[in-house]
Amino acid sequence: MLNRPLNVVKPIFFWRRLFAAVFSSTLLMPHFETLPAQAQEVNQFCQISAAEAQAKEKLRLSALQGDEQAQNQYQQLVRQHTQTVQECRNRNWPQVQAIWLRLYPCDIQPGTIDRIMDRIVNKGYNQVYLEAFYDGQVLLPAASNPTVWPSVVRTPGEEKADLLLKAIQEGQKRGLKVYAWMFTANFGYTYAQRRDREGAIARNGKGETSLYVVDDGSQVFIDPYNVQAKRDYYQMVQEILRRRPDGVLFDYVRYPRQTGGDSIATKVTDLWLYSEATQQALFQRAQNNKGLELIRRFLTKGYVTAGDISEVDKLYPQEGEPMWQGRTPPPPPPTEPSLPIGQKAVAAVIPPAQRQPILQSELWQLSVAHAMQGILDFVNLAAYPAQKLGIPAGVVFFPDGNQTVGQGYDSRLQPWDRFPSSLEWHPMSYANCGNVDCIAAQVKQVLSAAKPGTKVIPAIAGQWGKNVNGRPSLEAQMQAMKPFASQLRGVSHFAYSWQDPESDQQRKFCRAK
C-alpha cells in the first residue's frame, strides 16, 4: 500500500476536492400461559410499556431462581416483545434505531446480559453497537485471546468467559442486530507499554508520541503505515469476526484530537509523519531524485528555501522539476517561446526564489495528504475481513473532524468525506448549542457530502424525556432528523450508560441484580 496514489490537500471546505486535483491513481406478576393482545401495545417510539417491562423482569428473576414455569413464560414474553418491536420498527421511521453499549467484567454474572438486552428491546431499539475493542483491551475470553491486547474480563476463574459471543447470541435471540464496535487507530495505553511495538507508535516532528498529547494519557495512536500495527489489528478483527457479529464499526479513524493552539495543524512538524514506516512511505512517493531530496529537507527542517532548491538543481542537473506523486509542475513562462516545453524548461527559466513558495506549498499539501491516506488505507484494510464475509462494515467520525482553518487543518486529520461509500457512515452528530439546529446542520452536512447509495446512520447523544447539559431530549433530536427521513434509514443513540446511569454504575461494580 505504500505507493497507493493519494490526493494532495487544497485548503477548501470539507476537503471535497482535497485529493482529486493532484493524484489520478418490579411488580409481582401471576404466571400465565398466553398473553392478552393488549400487552403488545407500544408507543410512537416503539417502546414497550413500563408495566410489560416490569413483568418481564419479574419473570427473569424468578427464572434465575430455578422456576421452570417462569422460565417458559419469560421466554414467551421475550419472543412476543421481539416481534412487537420488529413490527413497529417496520412501520415507523427510523427502521433502524441503534444504541451504543459497553460491557464490563461484572456482566459475566448470570442473567446480566439478558437483563441488558431486555432493556434495549424495551426502549424500542433493534440494533446494538457493542464495544469489542476499546481502551487497549479486547472483549475476547482470556483463555482464547491470541491478540497483543489483554482481555476485558481478567477475573480469576473466568478465563473462558466470552462476553462478546454471549452478547451477540442473546441480542440476536431478541431480534437485535449486534455490531462489534472497535477503536481503530487508537490502540490504547497497553500497546504503548510493549517494548517490541515502540516503532508502531505515531510520532510528530516535535519529538512527541501520541501518548503525551492526549489529556487522559490513555490514548495511543499508531503509525497507520506500520506493518506490525496492521498485522496486530487485522488479527484482532479476525478473532472478533469469528463470533459472527451482524456488522463491525470502526471508531477513532483519525489522529489525536489536540487542544489550544495545537488543535490546528499549521506546519509539517505538527503532523504524525515522523515514525519510520510513515517516513519511508512518504519518501517512496518521490518520482525523481530532486523530489526525494526536497521531501527530506522539508520534513527535517519544516520548510525549504531558495538555496535548497538551487542546491538540489545542482545535485541533479540532468533532472527537470522536482517530482512526486500527483505533482504537475507549472508551465514555462510565455516570454520564452524558444525554449522546449517540459520540466527542464521550467527549472531552467524560473529562478529558485520564485519557485520556492509554490514548492513549499505543494510539499505541505503532499504531507497532509500522505498522513490522511494512511488513515484511509488502514480502515480499508481493517474492513476487508468483514466485507469478505459479507458482513457490513462502517466508519464512525466527527462531522467537524476534517475542517480547514486558513492554511491549517483540524489536528485529527479525519478525511471522512473520502471514506468509501461501500462502508456505512456513522457521523457523531454531537453538536451542543442548546437546541437541535446545530445537530441537524451536522447531519445535513454529511448527507450533502455522501455519494448516492451511501448508508448514513447519524449518532446522536442524549436521554429520553429530558435535556442533559444543554442537549435536547432524544425525542426532540429525533424530530429534527425527520426532514432527512428519505435519506436516513437509521439513527443511533449514545449511549446505553446514559439511559440509566445508576444501572451502569451498578454493573461496573458488580452490584447489578
When pLDDT is averaged across residues 481-494 and rounded to a whole number, the result is 97
Nearest to 458 by CA among 484, 490, 499, 483: 490
Cα separation, 69 vs 279, whole angstroms: 66
Query: Do residues 426 and 492 lie in contact, with contact meaning Cβ atoms separated by under 8 Å?
Result: yes
Q: Which tens digit of pLDDT belongs to each residue from 155-205?
A: 999 999 999 999 999 999 999 999 999 999 999 999 999 999 999 999 999
- pLDDT grade for 405, boundaries at 50, 70 and 90: confident
Q: Which pLDDT value is given to residue 373? A: 98
pLDDT, tens digit (0-9, with 9 covering 90-100), for 412-468: 999 999 999 999 999 999 999 999 999 999 999 999 999 999 999 999 999 999 999
Torsion of CA 459, 462, 465, 469, to 10 degrees: -150
Over range 479-491, report the average pLDDT. Answer: 97
According to DSSP, the β-strands at 127-134 and 459-461 are unpaired
Quick check: 81 pLDDT over 90? Answer: yes
Which of these, 206, 211, 203, lies nearest to 276 by C-alpha position?
203
Is residue 141 classed as helix, strand or coil in its secondary structure?
coil
The sheet carrying 264-265 orders its strands as 264-265, 408-410, 404-405
- Consecutive H or E run containing 368: helix 352-388
- Write out the three cell numbers for 491: 439513527
What pLDDT, in 10s, does the model give residues 356-381? 999 999 999 999 999 999 999 999 99
| Closest CA relative to residue 486, chosen from 447, 430, 429, 431 | 447
Amino acid, res. 344: K
> Inter-axis angle of helices 352-388 and 227-241, to 10 degrees?
20
Q: What is the pLDDT of residue 349?
A: 75
Tens-place pLDDT, residues 8-61: 444 333 344 444 444 433 333 333 333 443 445 799 999 999 999 999 999 999
Give the pLDDT of residue 335.
58
Q: Which residue carries 467484567 as its cell?
A: 105
pLDDT of residue 29: 34
Global pTM?
Answer: 0.91
> Mean pLDDT throughout 207-232?
90
**Three-state helix/strand/coil letters over 393-422:** EEEEECCCCCCEECCEEECCCCCHHHCCCC
Least Cα distance to 244 among 451, 385, 66, 82 occurs for: 385
pLDDT given for residue 503 in this prediction:
87
pLDDT band at 73 (very low <50, low <70, confident <90, very high): very high
* Structure confidence by residue, pLDDT tens digits, 293-335: 999 999 999 999 999 999 999 999 999 999 999 999 887 666 5
- Residue 79: which pLDDT band, with cuts at 50, 70 and 90? very high
Highest-pLDDT range among 11-20, 240-249, 342-351: 240-249
Reported as a pLDDT band with limits 50, 70 and 90, residue 1 is very low
